[in-house]
């Protein structure tokens, strides 16, 4: 079987998809269920139909494009990713996995390959947390990690519910119908840019992902006492911001103290009230992200932060409350699929590394219901979620070739 990836077609389609954006090029902004997102979905659906794939959409907009195999009763082999994009981001995050998945199937079709198991491209809804405050919405529902109550509890900045927004976008039906059965897929493989610098630094073109880190995301509310910046003496202060600063530094120390480069912690939001140069901060809202591929190490960082909250609150005379947004478990990739990716690389003479994903993806939740793995390609300087995000056409085509051959192995 000789496979040829149409690099020009794939590059042109990535460029065309990037034009569906609420931000001027080279930035891409494509928020889930926005007009641009819906137009992009329609365009992608037409590409899949032109390739002879059967397309269906579920109640939250997850879209499935299937090439039927000879054994229609057998669990399918899936691939895919997402196309929603955070404000002012780039054109390759997620999209390489969707359009690369489609191109992999077209290459297999054009080669004359006949799969036994059906092959399916899956477009996940709302991998990014931009609109509803939680990432991987579609895959969480597919895996049963979220239940149908989120139809009312998840709301956007305008206080509109998920149900209102999805039905207004044309995705109707009960959310209970979204969950996939455990035997729907026999395997799932997601092609993705690394979103980190390691492959490029090592001059290695491909990464077979062995584990996917998962975040614990939490909100921390700190209540102190405000007052005049000049009139309140230093011994009498209960500064909410300085308490928040201590917690941020303690979180950094907790990540460094594990001794593992896979432990990371970030304080990404710090909102201060009343935000006046001559007023002592009386209230601070903090949001933090703590992640690792090892759940025990990740939870040790959380424990250390919680101990610090109690100590800082007592010493500074402030109150501190915490609320978890999510606390997901890391995932191990399926050894059999990782071995299949490795064997394809070796058969082609392509260097590759086994590596972990420190970013999390829809595959994290697909791993709850089927054997799952990921395939990484390099991105320039490790940059992602920025307009200068870039992966070369050659790297994308090479990753797509490995994906196609891996899918063929899994579907035979």
pLDDT in tens, 50-81: 999 999 999 999 999 999 999 999 999 999 99
User: If pLDDT is split at 50, 70 and 90, which confidence band does 2 have?
Assistant: confident
pLDDT at position 175 is 97
User: Is residue 209 classed exposed, middle or buried when 0-12, 13-18 and 19+ CB atoms within 10 A define those classes?
Assistant: buried
DSSP reduced 3-state for 219: strand
pLDDT at position 180 is 98
Which whole number is the average pLDDT over 80-97?
98
CA-based end-to-end distance of the chain = 13
Report the phi/psi class of residue 381: left, alpha or beta, with left for phi > 0 and alpha for psi in -120 to 50. Answer: left
The C-alpha angle with vertex 330 and arms to 80 and 357, in degrees rounded to 5, equals 55
Instruction: Tell me the angle at which helices 7-18 and 393-411 cross, rounded to the nearest 10 degrees.
Output: 110
Handedness of CA 190, 194, 198, 203 (dihedral sign): positive
User: Is residue 153 classed exposed, middle or buried when 0-12, 13-18 and 19+ CB atoms within 10 A define those classes?
Assistant: exposed
pLDDT at position 187 is 98
The C-alpha angle with vertex 274 and arms to 271 and 277, in degrees rounded to 5, equals 100
Strands 185-193 and 76-82: parallel
Predicted confidence (pLDDT) at residue 28 exceeds the cutoff of 90: yes
pLDDT at position 217 is 92
pLDDT at position 319 is 98
| Nearest by Cα to 214 from 125, 131, 326 | 326
Are 107 and 45 contacting, i.e. CB atoms less than 8 angstroms apart?
Answer: no
Are 315 and 170 contacting, i.e. CB atoms less than 8 angstroms apart?
Answer: no
Alpha-carbon separation of residue 354 from 21, 31, 77, 339 (angstroms): 34, 33, 22, 10
DSSP reduced 3-state for 4: coil
Close Cβ partners of 174 (under 8 Å, ≥ 6 residues apart): 59, 148
Percent of the chain with pLDDT over 70: 100
User: If pLDDT is split at 50, 70 and 90, which confidence band does 104 have?
Assistant: very high
Cα separation, 206 vs 297, whole angstroms:
28
Phi, psi dihedrals of residue 36, rounded to the nearest 5°: -65, -35
User: If pLDDT is split at 50, 70 and 90, which confidence band does 18 have?
Assistant: very high
Are 353 and 202 contacting, i.e. CB atoms less than 8 angstroms apart?
Answer: yes
- CA 208 remoteness from chain centre: 17
pLDDT at position 89 is 97
- CA 153 remoteness from chain centre: 21
Cα separation, 254 vs 251, whole angstroms:
5
Cα separation, 179 vs 167, whole angstroms:
18
Predicted confidence (pLDDT) at residue 1 exceeds the cutoff of 80: no
pLDDT at position 215 is 86
**Length of the chain (residues):** 412
Interval 175-220: pLDDT, tens: 999 999 999 999 999 999 999 999 999 999 999 999 999 889 999 9
Percent of the chain with pLDDT over 90: 98
Cα separation, 212 vs 361, whole angstroms:
8
| Nearest by Cα to 320 from 227, 202, 222, 183 | 222
pLDDT at position 66 is 98
The mean pLDDT of the chain is 97
Residue whose entry in the numeric block shows the structure tokens 């990713």: 81
DSSP reduced 3-state for 91: coil
Cα separation, 29 vs 19, whole angstroms:
10
| Nearest by Cα to 284 from 232, 252, 239 | 239
Interval 221-252: pLDDT, tens: 999 999 999 999 999 999 999 999 999 999 99
Predicted confidence (pLDDT) at residue 163 exceeds the cutoff of 90: yes
- Give this prediction's pTM: 0.92
Domains of the chain, CATH where assigned: 7-213+330-411 (3.40.630.10), 215-327 (3.30.70.360)
Close Cβ partners of 246 (under 8 Å, ≥ 6 residues apart): 308, 312, 316
């Amino acid at each position: 079987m000789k496979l040829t990836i149409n690099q020009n077609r794939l590059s042109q389609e990535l460029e065309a998809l990037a034009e569906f954006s609420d931000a001027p090029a080279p930035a891409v902004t494509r928020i889930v269920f926005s007009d641009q997102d819906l137009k992009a979905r329609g365009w992608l659906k037409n590409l899949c139909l032109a390739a002879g794939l059967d397309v269906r959409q579920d109640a939250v907009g997850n879209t499935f494009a299937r090439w039927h195999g000879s054994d229609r009763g057998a669990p399918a082999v899936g691939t895919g990713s997402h196309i929603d994009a955070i404000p002012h981001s780039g054109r390759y995050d997620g999209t390489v996995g969707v359009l690369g998945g489609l191109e992999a199937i077209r290459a297999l079709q054009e080669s004359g390959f006949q799969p036994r198991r059906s092959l399916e491209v899956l477009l996940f809804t709302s991998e990014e947390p931009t609109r509803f405050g939680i990432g991987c919405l579609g895959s969480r529902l597919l895996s049963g990690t979220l239940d149908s109550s989120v139809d009312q509890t998840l709301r956007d900045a305008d206080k509109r519910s998920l149900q209102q927004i999805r039905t207004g976008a044309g995705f109707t039906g009960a959310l209970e119908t979204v969950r996939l059965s455990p035997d729907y897929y026999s395997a799932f493989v997601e092609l993705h840019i690394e979103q980190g610098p390691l492959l490029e630094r090592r001059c290695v073109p491909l990464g077979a992902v062995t584990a996917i880190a998962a975040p614990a995301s939490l909100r921390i509310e700190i209540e102190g006492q405000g007052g005049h910046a000049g009139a309140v003496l230093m011994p009498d202060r209960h500064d909410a911001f300085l308490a928040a600063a201590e917690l941020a530094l303690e979180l950094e120390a907790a990540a460094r103290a594990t001794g593992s480069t896979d432990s990371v912690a970030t304080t990404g939001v710090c909102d201060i009230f009343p935000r006046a140069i001559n007023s002592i901060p009386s209230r601070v809202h903090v949001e933090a992200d703590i992640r690792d591929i090892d759940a025990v190490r990740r939870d040790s960082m959380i424990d250390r932060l919680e101990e610090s909250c109690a100590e800082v609150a007592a010493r500074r005379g402030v109150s501190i409350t915490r609320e978890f947004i999510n606390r997901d478990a890391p995932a191990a990739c399926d050894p059999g699929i990782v071995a299949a990716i490795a064997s394809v690389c070796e058969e082609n003479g392509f260097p590759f590394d086994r590596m972990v994903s420190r970013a999390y993806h829809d595959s994290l939740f697909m791993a709850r219901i089927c054997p799952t793995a990921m395939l990484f390609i390099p991105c320039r300087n490790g940059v992602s979620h920025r307009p200068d995000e870039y992966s070369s056409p050659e790297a994308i085509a090479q990753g797509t070739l490995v994906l196609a051959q891996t899918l063929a192995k899994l579907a035979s």
